[in-house]
Amino acid sequence: MPCNLSAPGLTRRRLLLGLAAATALAGCRPESPAAPGDLPFSLLSPDATRALRGLSTADARSVLTQADRLAQIPPAPSRLVHTEHGYAGQPAYDAGVQAKTQWSAALTLGLAAAIGGNGHHLQATVALLESWAEVYQPSFNPIDEEGLDDLMLAADLIRPLHPLPQFSEFLARIADGYRQAQQDSTQRPLRDSDRNNWNAHRLKLATLAAYGTGSRERIAALPALRDRHLARAIAADGEVIDFRQRDALHYVVYALHPLCMACLSSRAHGDIWLNRTQPSSGSLRMALHWLLPYVRGERTHEEFAATTVPFDRERAAAGVKGFQGQWDRRGAIPLMALAARLAPDEFSADAEALQQQTATRPPAWLRLTRAG
């Protein structure tokens, strides 16, 4: 069913709650932000957020310009977002992609608020976060909800400037739902989705949400979820299960990106597990090194040639880009930028070379924020 961006059944008053609360900020500057040490965060610490204030690089100016435009677009939260098993031209997929533009917009606006302290950017970010937290009904499908971490990063960026009561409750629901989904998987026969990219995205959302709540109980549950996934997902030589299932580097990247996000989030809170292995499994570090020959262009790969998933062949037949032919190295740009943060000595040179060779840059938040 297509997502309805107008959120039918909601009164106008409810739709504008986020805006109404934030409008009171217009023209105001936060005189006494909360003490940074008291604030939970998902990945970007209050110190990392404060370091953005007054930044005047070309990237920062570009973000401010984009934010000026995005701040004019009112929140349009959906009850449902659905993008899994879809592609462009399908109504539900197109509606889901459109809805997710508000998630990425929140991150851009949050960056702008942190850089400039502009009340207009701040109120727009608060409005987006609080209205989505009120309206959206989590499905706990991690592919449909893949971009929710953009909202979590946006919250990190403005939490020192303004409270987010509804979004904080929303984070607790996300953390609890994704933790429970992974725990439930131990009570039934193992599915492919319990060990491939699907579960990697569940782990990412569970991790960022748990840390975002600051709840000791939720955070304490994360190591078991992580260790279970590493044991199931990464072979002793670093190959991820997705490569065997899909015969595609696209899905290797898609499996490793959320793991790097979870690893960065954990590291920012003192839990360092890049090199962690389980009996008969490899580590995230080993999986990144497994991919390096392809990132460097030393090896090439014909994508999805021997996939075991019929939907991959359906997308190839529909002409969806990337589902046939040689792997495009540009798809690894964000992943390698994350890897460079996790282990600069090992991955920075390859990340920079890939950007130069492909004339492609990582997302703005990775270019602007410091390693955390």
pLDDT in tens, 27-63: 333 333 444 457 999 999 999 999 999 999 999 999 9
In this structure, the number of other CB atoms found within 10 A of the CB of residue 327 comes to 21
- The DSSP annotation for 71-96 comes to TTSPP---S----TT--TT-HHHHHH
Q: Average pLDDT, stretch 133-141? A: 98
Q: Report the alpha-carbon distance of residue 325 to residue 249 in Å, rounded.
A: 11
Q: Report the alpha-carbon distance of residue 233 to residue 335 in Å, rounded.
A: 17
- Token representation of residue 20: 């109404």
Measure CA 32 to chain center.
30
* Residue 209 and residue 42 in contact, taking contact as beta carbons nearer than 8 Å: yes
Q: Report the alpha-carbon distance of residue 10 to residue 100 in Å, rounded.
A: 20
What values do phi and psi take at 120, rounded to 5?
A: -65, -45
pLDDT at res. 14:
41
User: Which residue carries 């709540």 as its tokens?
Assistant: 213
* Residue 81 and residue 136 in contact, taking contact as beta carbons nearer than 8 Å: yes
Helix (H) or strand (E) holding 333: helix 333-342
pLDDT at res. 37:
56
Percent of the residues in the chain that have a pLDDT greater than 90, as a whole number: 86
pLDDT tens-digit profile of 183-240? 888 888 889 999 999 999 999 999 999 999 999 999 999 999 999 999 999 999 999 9
* Residue 296 and residue 350 in contact, taking contact as beta carbons nearer than 8 Å: yes
pLDDT at res. 324:
94
pTM: 0.90
In eight-state DSSP terms, residue 155 is H
* Residue 133 and residue 14 in contact, taking contact as beta carbons nearer than 8 Å: no
- Flag the least confident range among 113-122, 162-171, 322-331: 113-122
- Residue 147 pLDDT > 80: yes
Q: Report the alpha-carbon distance of residue 193 to residue 184 in Å, rounded.
A: 13
**Nearest in space to 206 (alpha carbons), one of 233, 236, 235, 173:** 173
Taking CA atoms, 305 is separated from 21, 34, 198, 297, in Å, by 52, 54, 21, 19
What values do phi and psi take at 328, rounded to 5?
A: -95, 115
Residue 118's pLDDT band (cuts 50, 70, 90) = confident
**Nearest in space to 249 (alpha carbons), one of 203, 191, 194, 288:** 288
pLDDT at res. 141:
97
Helix (H) or strand (E) holding 99: helix 91-116
CA dihedral 354, 357, 358, 359 (to 10 degrees): 110
* 3-class secondary-structure state, position 49: helix
Q: Report the alpha-carbon distance of residue 177 to residue 221 in Å, rounded.
A: 13
Q: Average pLDDT, stretch 285-306? A: 98
Beta-ladder partners of 240: 234
CA dihedral 297, 300, 303, 308 (to 10 degrees): -120
Q: Report the alpha-carbon distance of residue 202 to residue 277 in Å, rounded.
A: 19
201 CB-contact burial (10 Å; exposed 0-12 / middle 13-18 / buried 19+): buried
